Amino acid sequence: MKVLVTDPISIEAIEKMKKAGLKVDLKQNLDKKELIEIIPEYDAIIVRSQTKITKDIIEAAKNLKIIGRAGTGVDNIDTEAATQRGIVVVNAPGGNSISAAEHTFALILSLVRKIPQADKSVKSGKWDRKRFMGIELRGKTIGVIGLGRVGYEVAKRAKAFEMNVLVYDPYIPPERAKIIGAKLVGDLDELLEKSDIITIHVPKTKETEGMISRKEIEKMKDGVYIINCARGGIVNEKDLYEALIKGKVAGAALDVYENEPPSPSNPLFKLENVITTPHIGASTREAQISVGMIVANEIINMAKGLPVKNAVNLPSLEVTEFEYIMPYIKLAEKMGKIACARLGGKFKRVKVTFKGKLSGMRTEYITRATLKGLLETIATDVNLVSSLPLAKERGIKVEEVRSESSEVYESLLEVSVSSNGKELFLAGTCFSKEDYRIIKIDKYKVDFIPAGHYIMSLHEDKPGVIGRVGTLFGKHNINIAGMIVGRYGERGGVQLMLLLVDDPPTEEVLRKMTKLDGIIDATYVYL
């Protein structure tokens, strides 16, 4: 196998591939035209962030079998184009968790002991010891928001410092926190109110953007310390600045920013009680060796014909099977997203049923796609390979059922998700590559392509309800592009309404909708 490396990776990773018999070429700083010219001769390519693997490059890659990203995200790779060509895309999730956790603690210690300020003072010829009075970590309460890979490692280290550890993560079982002696709190407010130090370790999503803003800061202790080594935008920088100026927040340490690189005029940079680093949480030699070695092992496994562990997309399939199951993979992921939204991101059991022709296919990929849809808004590094281990890690029971009978359809996919006494059932089928449809939600018959901004609502079946919703949306300049009402039984009772809108509603609009006469609930989901 011939491997092209276009961005810097560890020499250890390169040597490992060579020892495995692979031919490795290092060609960095290539422009798009140069890459298109040489990519046809390679079986594999390894990139980091600089090289962009676009559709044009993938189409030119006649022999390419695998794309490796020596890092976590794959935003610089056209994964869909690679999947259509049967090219496996792999990344290196978790390879930098320890480095990010250690950097978090470096910032915590630097912040509470005022180390950067003291260093600057001594180097300027001063000896002002009283000015740099700090605090001990022992006995203090640290609030860890998010108990994923990095948050888990931070919490472990906090216990070693004899700190009281509170954890907020609504998507993990209490057992995971207990293992490291942390206390899992039921809501974010409890963590905010009780913590002396707050550190953030969640992915940036629609739900977490602006997660720490003025309202949340006001609930914190006076003199709290805030650390963000996760993603910029989770902490509202303007609100943080105001809280630092007023003394509500004693200090902040940031490795990530709303805009990167940040503007030199950012007012936070003028405050002495703010410590900043240039997004270097994963910038250690060990982390770079780790991510390089993870990807190198994946390339070697591919060369040997062995399965890869960190595939972001599907492994190669037979052409006919690939074409048949691809729309079901898309459908399954959308079903998972709906279930996650309707059940509030909490679930304990997932049952996936395959009927008809589908029951004889390699349905593992469809099950994993269902789990990906369920988990991707509440966890990091979720792909078709990682979704199943992540589900097991969270104590989610996964069951597959097969039946040759599929009623009137050639194939039928059914998904049932349950948790805490609640259950959601969805059924769907596919008529072509792009025509995948959900035909049933719970007991309600529907028929729609799950794509776009949807609001799902239960309502009382009586006159005026739909009109009131339309009036509300009109007042807020939200255009309703389509509507489906799934009626069950006779007139009256509780019915299901699906609204396709051109733009996502605000939380305020959803709250107002649920207060309308006849509306029972309302959930937004982007499909």
The residues annotated with a catalytic role in the active site are 231, 260, 279
Helices (H), 124-196: 149-160, 174-179, 188-194
Give counts: helices (H), strands (E), the chain: 17, 22
Residue type for 348, please?
A: K
Q: Which helix (H) or strand (E) holds 425?
A: strand 422-430
Secondary structure (DSSP) of 374-407: HHTTTSSS--TTTHHHHHHHTT-EEEEEEES--T
Beta strands in 442-513 (DSSP E): 444-448, 453-460, 480-486, 494-501
Token readout for 496 is: 């299901």
**Residue whose C-alpha is closest to residue 221's, from 161, 289, 154, 135:** 135
Calpha distance 181→43 (Å, rounded): 47
In order of 330, 365, 368, 382, 402, the CA distances from 327 in angstroms are: 5, 12, 14, 19, 18
**Residue whose C-alpha is closest to residue 64's, from 48, 46, 50, 91:** 46
Token readout for 354 is: 């395959």
Calpha distance 35→27 (Å, rounded): 9
Torsion angle in degrees (nearest 10) through CA of 298, 303, 308, 311: 80
